[in-house]
């Protein structure tokens, strides 16, 4: 639908411009011939070579806090060095961030439910919690709340809530997940002592005990989730079916000991291509991607237990590397300076980008935009083949979409708004912490979560459409050069109400007064 409507808009615009007396306003976004020639060097073989290493089994899925992530960081830094980028981190190409990993301890664990007819002990392998903390709850009344119901939340205060989470349909994964999270937050707002969620589909060891979890820096998403216990205990599930809803029907006790904590360092990777224009080279464009992955689900069975994260987000990382290598050969360089940033911790709650937004390596008030790259390699969407197309999150929030549409016309890529996902995903990738401090920041992608292997062991590099990815990277490079070589900066759109907080943050960064109402 969107492809057709965008074609219609272009035809209407062309007809209007062809009308007598119509004068086409010159676009501030232009791709130079030198830039076009430089982007022809983007190579499918180069992309394939980088990605086949970063998404290889030997890196174990690039999980935050592991050796595999450290190796990936060193590889990205080596490619920045090879491209001749200037180090811009606090430690060469690295921006170290202090972190703490906490490992839940099974010592002293007990999770029991006392019912009139039975006493149920939940084993540690069937237990997980969204937080890592010591906990002692003894004999609190338990109330069953059917999934999605919010009839009489007032009765939940001080009690333990037990509910069941239903399977999320693949066709509307993001919407259903957000509906679930919203409902859980409503339950938590009622002030229960604990929320226990039954998930019958798990059935394998959760791996909660003995698995290190990043507890610092604290992600906004972790704080929003609060403390929720998940269990697949078959005995508790059978008892749940027989419990009356909304009435105290048993007592719950839970003891979790103090976790083991270990200090560590995580690293963003950063290099800069200095601009050539004396008036503009102290302004900056960011090109970013996250280089961490989700890793395997603990307890997963089957022959392939490594979640390689080729598309999410090895593809964005190697696209950034390829652009750094390609644009380094431009003579003269782009007018503005371009910072290439690889973030840690996106999969743990946008940690690396949030750390950068709080500790910027170049001034935020001089940062004109962030082009964040995700999911650029796969075209085999569950909806349709998406070769030759690309989209942006928060499509209507700024005029950066117009730049990408222009870049798409220059490179043969249809840039369109995904009406269902564009706004929904704006706050779910590394563009968001930059937008929250005012930088015009969007994520560019070919697919969103709509490919079969999203966050699973099948997301491997041989499934990448490297021919299409080559065109996509050239399109991103064209948009990058159009902004880098223009005296005009992208702006948050005044007529986009969802962009209001980002416009306000942008004004604060620039020291501008609030507009009169």
Question: Whole-number mean pLDDT of the chain?
Answer: 90
Gap between the Cα atoms of 203 and 195, Å rounded: 20
- Exposure string (b/e) for 184-213, b if CB count within 10 Å is 16 or more? beebbebebbbbbbbbbebeebbebbeebb
Q: 341: helix, coil or strand?
A: strand
Q: Return the pLDDT at 224.
A: 66
| Model pLDDT for residues 354-368, shown as the tens digit of each residue | 999 999 999 999 999
Q: Does the structure show a pLDDT above 80 at 315? A: yes
Name the pLDDT band for 305 (thresholds 50, 70, 90).
confident
Q: Return the pLDDT at 6.
A: 43
Give the chain's length.
517
Gap between the Cα atoms of 25 and 282, Å rounded: 28
CB atoms within 10 A of CB 240: 19
Name the pLDDT band for 290 (thresholds 50, 70, 90).
very high
Q: Return the pLDDT at 427.
A: 94
CB atoms within 10 A of CB 284: 26
Q: Does the structure show a pLDDT above 50 at 5? A: no
Gap between the Cα atoms of 438 and 509, Å rounded: 7
Which helix (H) or strand (E) segment holds residue 376: the answer is none
Q: What's the rounded mean pLDDT across residues 272-295?
A: 96
Q: Does the structure show a pLDDT above 90 at 125? A: yes
Q: Return the pLDDT at 301.
A: 62
Q: Return the pLDDT at 514.
A: 66
Share of the chain above pLDDT 70, in %: 90
Name the pLDDT band for 28 (thresholds 50, 70, 90).
confident
Q: What's the rounded mean pLDDT across residues 55-68?
A: 95
Gap between the Cα atoms of 167 and 171, Å rounded: 12
| Model pLDDT for residues 34-46, shown as the tens digit of each residue | 999 999 999 999 9
Gap between the Cα atoms of 285 and 283, Å rounded: 7
Which helix (H) or strand (E) segment holds residue 20: the answer is none
Q: Does the structure show a pLDDT above 80 at 174? A: no
Gap between the Cα atoms of 184 and 197, Å rounded: 9
User: Do residues 225 and 317 touch, judged by C-beta distance below 8 A?
Assistant: no
Name the pLDDT band for 272 (thresholds 50, 70, 90).
very high
Q: 429: helix, coil or strand?
A: coil
In angstroms and rounded to an integer, the radius of gyration of the C-alpha atoms of the chain is: 25
Q: What's the rounded mean pLDDT across residues 128-140?
A: 95
Name the pLDDT band for 202 (thresholds 50, 70, 90).
confident
Name the pLDDT band for 266 (thresholds 50, 70, 90).
very high
Q: Return the pLDDT at 471.
A: 98
| Model pLDDT for residues 477-500, shown as the tens digit of each residue | 999 999 999 999 999 999 999 999
How far is residue 241 from each of residues 9, 34, 122, 245, 339, measured CA to CA in Å? 54, 68, 16, 10, 56
What's this model's pTM, rounded to 2 decimal places?
Answer: 0.87
Q: Which has the higher per-residue pLDDT, 117 or 413?
A: 413
Gap between the Cα atoms of 245 and 225, Å rounded: 24
User: Do residues 336 and 419 touch, judged by C-beta distance below 8 A?
Assistant: no
Gap between the Cα atoms of 337 and 362, Å rounded: 10
List the structure tokens of 184. Answer: 């859980």
Q: Return the pLDDT at 288.
A: 98
Minimal CA–CA distance to 27: which of 502, 351, 402? Answer: 402
Q: Does the structure show a pLDDT above 50 at 183? A: yes
Q: Quick check: bond before 116 cis, omega within 30? A: no
Q: Return the pLDDT at 207.
A: 87
Q: Return the pLDDT at 155.
A: 85
Q: What's the rounded mean pLDDT across residues 435-450?
A: 96
Q: Return the pLDDT at 431.
A: 98
Name the pLDDT band for 17 (thresholds 50, 70, 90).
very low
Instruction: Classify the C-alpha dihedral 190-432-424-396 as positive or negative.
Output: positive
Q: Return the pLDDT at 18.
A: 39
For residues 67, 106, 99, 206, the Cα torsion angle rounded to the nearest 10 degrees is 60
In 226-365, at which residue ranges do the beta strands (DSSP E only) sit?
228-231, 248-256, 260-273, 284-290, 337-343
């Amino acid at each position: 639908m969107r492809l057709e409507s965008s074609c219609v808009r272009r035809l209407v615009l062309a007809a209007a411009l062809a009308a007598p007396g119509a004068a086409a306003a010159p676009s501030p976004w232009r791709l130079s011939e030198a830039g076009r020639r430089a982007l022809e060097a983007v190579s499918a073989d180069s992309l394939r070579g980088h990605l086949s290493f970063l998404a290889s089994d030997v890196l174990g899925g690039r999980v935050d806090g592991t050796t595999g992530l450290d190796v990936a960081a060193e590889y990205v830094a080596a490619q920045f060095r090879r491209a001749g980028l200037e180090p811009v981190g606090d430690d060469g190409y690295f921006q170290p961030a202090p972190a703490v990993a906490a490992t839940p301890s099974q010592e002293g664990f007990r999770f029991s439910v006392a019912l009139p007819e039975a006493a149920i002990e939940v084993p540690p392998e069937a237990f997980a919690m969204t937080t890592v903390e010591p906990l002692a709850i003894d004999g609190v009344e338990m109330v069953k709340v059917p999934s999605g119901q919010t009839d009489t939340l007032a009765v939940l205060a001080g009690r333990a809530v037990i509910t069941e989470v239903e399977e999320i349909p693949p066709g509307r994964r993001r919407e259903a997940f957000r509906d679930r999270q919203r409902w859980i937050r409503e339950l938590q707002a009622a002030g229960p002592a604990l929320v226990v969620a039954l998930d019958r589909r798990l059935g394998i060891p959760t791996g909660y005990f003995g698995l290190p979890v990043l507890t610092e820096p604290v992600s906004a998403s972790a704080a929003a989730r609060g403390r929720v216990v998940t269990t697949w205990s078959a005995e508790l599930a059978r008892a749940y079916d027989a419990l009356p809803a909304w009435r105290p029907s048993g007592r719950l006790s839970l003891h979790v000991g103090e976790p083991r904590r270990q200090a560590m360092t995580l690293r963003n990777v950063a290099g800069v291509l200095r601009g050539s224009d004396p008036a503009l080279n102290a302004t900056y464009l960011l090109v970013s991607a996250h280089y961490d992955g989700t890793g395997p689900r603990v307890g997963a069975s089957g022959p392939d237990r490594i979640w390689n994260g080729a598309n999410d987000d090895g593809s964005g990382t190697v696209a950034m590397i390829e652009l750094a290598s390609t644009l380094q050969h431009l003579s003269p360089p782009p007018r503005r300076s371009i910072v290439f940033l690889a973030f840690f911790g996106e999969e743990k709650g946008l940690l690396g980008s949030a750390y950068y937004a709080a500790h910027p390596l170049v001034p935020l008030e001089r940062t004109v935009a962030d082009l964040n790259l995700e999911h650029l390699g796969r075209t085999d969407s569950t909806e349709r083949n998406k070769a030759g197309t690309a989209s942006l999150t928060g499509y209507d929030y700024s005029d950066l979409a117009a730049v990408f549409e222009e870049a798409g016309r220059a490179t043969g890529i249809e840039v369109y708004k995904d009406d269902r996902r564009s706004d929904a995903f704006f706050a779910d990738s590394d563009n968001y912490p930059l937008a929250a401090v005012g930088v015009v920041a969007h994520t560019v992608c070919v697919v969103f979560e709509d490919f079969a292997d999203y966050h699973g062991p099948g997301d491997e590099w041989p499934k990448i459409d490297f021919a299409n990815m080559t065109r996509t990277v050239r399109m991103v490079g064209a948009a990058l050069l159009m902004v880098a070589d223009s005296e005009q900066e992208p702006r948050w759109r005044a007529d986009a109400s969802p962009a209001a907080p980002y416009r306000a943050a942008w004004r604060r960064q620039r020291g501008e007064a609030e507009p009169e109402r």
